[in-house]
Structure 1
Amino acid sequence: MQDWLDFSLFQHPVREYLSALAVLLGYLALFIALKRLGCVYLNRLARKTDNDFDDFLVKLISDVRPAIFLILSMYLVSLHMELAALTESILRRITILAAGIQGILLLQHAAEYGVEKACLKGRTGDPAAVTLSRNIKNILKWALWGLGGLFVLDNLGVNVSALVAGLGVGGIAVAIASQAVLGDALSAFSIFIDKPFAVGDFITVEGLMGTVEHVGLKTTRLRSLGGEQIVFSNSDLTKSRIRNYKRMEVRRIAFKIGVVYQTHAAKVRKIPGMVRSICSGIEGIKLDRVHFFSYGNFSLDYEIVYYVLSPDYNVYMDKQQEINFALKDAFEKEGIEFAYPTQTVFVEKGGAS
């Protein structure tokens, strides 16, 4: 038995390998125990608090890969053994690479948690907030992996100075070429902060109108009444005048009617009262004013202004239709004729001289 333990394998006795294996298993058990104890403690703490930060910490610890414990244990064991330079170098590089990847993943989870808390606080169901949160998380993810990759390469002995210098020159060129993209990204952040509109709002921009479908990092997409999609760059939107009909509480309506010039003066004076009576009998509207305001080319013109107590466009059209039907019925009973474009030609016969 003693001879077997002293048998040399790759210049190390079996006894040393068994000792290293025991220490390896000890380190591995220690790491796993610390992870489980941390999760148990934080779970107990989470049940006593209302915030979700401790829940996040539990998830963060749970996401630590078991493989990293094995690699760290192997590296710690190797410190107490006399290994070949190549073997030691390979093991060291594997440890740095594994630790770097695990560290970047943990930082990524922490950054995503922070972004969600900042962007989605009180706006969990807001599609614009969800979109912006996703875009920011993607940017941070790429930045973390880029910087983390450089850090890992530097610790692996790679000369990253030339790479960083090259990236700096390339970054300047990319920044110059992507000024519009960066402007749109900043405009997207401005839209998120100021909230001039949200997904589902009906807006008009420089004469174009539609329902907001998507607010992205570069563009915002609308669905027009005709069904086609309208795409705006975010920088154009922040420079434009936007009318948001979704936030309308009441709708102000002004329209005109005209009656023929042959209408008797008494009936002309009677029309405003007729309009008031009609509007007072229609629910969901509030009459503001009605006036005989001008003599038109072919009609006596009245202007009627009222409010629809709903922002819904279909409700407005229903109320306007109800008013039009009532006006038609009332005018027919009173013998009042609506005017329409006509032209009267007077022909004068000249006398013989």
Structure 2
Amino acid sequence: MRLVFMGNSIEEWGTAVAVAFATAVLMYTARYLLIHRLAQVAERSETRVDDWFLRLLRATYTIFILILALYLGSLMLEFPRKYELWLWRVAVSAMLIQAAIWADTAVRAWRGRYRQAAMGTESVASAASTAIIDFLLRLVVWVVFMLMILDNLGFNITTLVASLGIGGIAVALAVQNILGDLLASLSIVLDKPFVVGDFIIVGEQLGTVEYIGLKTTRLRGLGGDQVIFSNGDILKARILNQTRMFTRRAAFILRVHYATDPAKLEAIPPMIKAIIEAHEQTASFERAHLMQLAEWSLNFEVVYWIKSPDYFVFMDTQQSILLAVLRGLKERGIEVAYPARMIMRDPFDCIEGAAPLHSPASNKREGT
């Protein structure tokens, strides 16, 4: 007598169990060997790809392997259409859940790598912003996959998706300023136009970045005051990051008296070039030219580069070079020009004994 259970013979059930068992063993063994092999490769390799695959394999759960093996075994049997449909839905739902776990693992791996790369420069606020990014990405992953699972199980998700869309638009309109600053914070964290500790200039404000938050960025001004910007506003402005300069450009105007002999004027640029190139803090000499015959002076423009972007090094170097230039001018008998003006006496202010208006003694030169 042939035994039949749920429309299938014992031999068919045995075949299905054997297929399921063999599939489970094969998949579990392959997973184990791949993890073992990738772990050895990851220890010797500096690339991130093998590390990511290793984490994904470790996040492959045994229950998923069993469900997939049982489904493949069930293909050896004949079931009513309704049962086959539900077996398919269960298998697909299991695969979607496993895919969501892989995506969640990938997001967490990205966050770990990002924080490791930013080690030493990432502030507490930046860490919080990174955590917000991680939370939002994982939330999107699970919401999308849960909607796919519900749709696979036969639920009508059209109304649910429409409701979520309308609700999301309403919330976004209500808190658009906050969301704008939040997204600007994420942009600052990811793009890094500046980090905590950088000295930046934003419009007319300048200072050291002290805090990068979810809504505001705060600078410590030169006077000790705290300047607070919303993240949205600071990204709309033109930012000058002084900390990321590799060298600093220095320039000054040297004003020489008009009575200076032309031969002495020709000697000024070579003298300045020698002084600048001899200084240990200068990177390069760019130019020194007589650029203008001004109203009361002959103007030389001098441009050079300093090795360090540090402002105090810039000021010390500029001071040292200017003093050396003044000593060089004095040695060559060249006078530095200064503005002067002629003051004429009012004839009605003349008193008895004063010099007449047309007399040279009535003219007085006063330095300003």
Shorter chain as normaliser: what TM range?
A: 0.5 to 0.7
TM-superposed deviation, 1:322: 1.0
Of 240, 245, 253, the match for 1:243: 240
Residues 256 and 301 of structure 1 are in contact (CA less than 8 Å); yes or no, is this contact kept in structure 2? no
Paired residue for 2:313?
A: 315
- 1:306 and 2:303 equivalent? yes
> Superposition pairs for residues 52-131 of structure 1, below 5 Å?
52-53=48-49, 55-56=51-52, 58-59=54-55, 107-113=103-109, 115-116=110-111, 120=114, 124-125=117-118, 127=121
Amino acid at match of 1:112: R
Give the unaligned 5+ runs of structure 1: 1-30, 73-98
Inter-partner Cα distance in structure 1 for 2:308 and 2:187: 26
Farther off after superposition, 232-241 or 146-155: 146-155
> Superposition pairs for residues 155-166 of structure 1, below 5 Å?
none
Inter-partner Cα distance in structure 2 for 1:110 and 1:278: 59
Residues 247 and 308 of structure 2 are in contact (CA less than 8 Å); yes or no, is this contact kept in structure 1? yes
CA deviation vs aligned residue, 1:207-237 (integer Å, no higher than 9, x gap): 2233445666655454444455444444334
Residues 205 and 243 of structure 1 are in contact (CA less than 8 Å); yes or no, is this contact kept in structure 2? yes
Residues 181 and 218 of structure 1 are in contact (CA less than 8 Å); yes or no, is this contact kept in structure 2? yes
Inter-partner Cα distance in structure 2 for 1:147 and 1:177: 24
Identify if the C-alpha distance between structure 1 residues 260 and 52 changes in structure 2 by more than 3 Å, giving closer, same or farther. closer
Farther off after superposition, 274-283 or 171-180: 274-283
- 1:44 and 2:37 equivalent? yes
Amino acid at match of 1:251: R
Identify if the C-alpha distance between structure 1 residues 32 and 165 changes in structure 2 by more than 3 Å, giving closer, same or farther. same
Residues 128 and 214 of structure 1 are in contact (CA less than 8 Å); yes or no, is this contact kept in structure 2? no
> Superposition pairs for residues 145-160 of structure 1, below 5 Å?
none
Identify if the C-alpha distance between structure 1 residues 32 and 63 changes in structure 2 by more than 3 Å, giving closer, same or farther. farther
Identify if the C-alpha distance between structure 1 residues 48 and 163 changes in structure 2 by more than 3 Å, giving closer, same or farther. closer
SS of the equivalent of 1:344 reads strand
Inter-partner Cα distance in structure 2 for 1:134 and 1:158: 33
SS of the equivalent of 1:255 reads strand
Inter-partner Cα distance in structure 2 for 1:139 and 1:275: 60
What CA RMSD, in Å, does the superposition of the two structures yield over aligned residues? 5.3
Residues 257 and 335 of structure 2 are in contact (CA less than 8 Å); yes or no, is this contact kept in structure 1? yes
SS of the equivalent of 2:343 reads coil
Paired residue for 1:178?
A: 175
TM-superposed deviation, 1:116: 4.6
Number of residue pairs the alignment of both structures matches: 297
Identify if the C-alpha distance between structure 1 residues 257 and 309 changes in structure 2 by more than 3 Å, giving closer, same or farther. closer
TM-superposed deviation, 1:138: 2.0
SS of the equivalent of 2:342 reads coil
TM-superposed deviation, 1:289: 1.5
Amino acid at match of 2:39: A
TM-superposed deviation, 1:328: 2.9
Amino acid at match of 1:281: A
TM-superposed deviation, 1:206: 1.2
SS of the equivalent of 1:197 reads coil
Residues 292 and 300 of structure 1 are in contact (CA less than 8 Å); yes or no, is this contact kept in structure 2? no
Inter-partner Cα distance in structure 1 for 2:291 and 2:147: 78
SS of the equivalent of 2:172 reads helix
Identify if the C-alpha distance between structure 1 residues 134 and 317 changes in structure 2 by more than 3 Å, giving closer, same or farther. same
TM-superposed deviation, 1:136: 2.3
TM-superposed deviation, 1:135: 3.7
SS of the equivalent of 1:328 reads helix
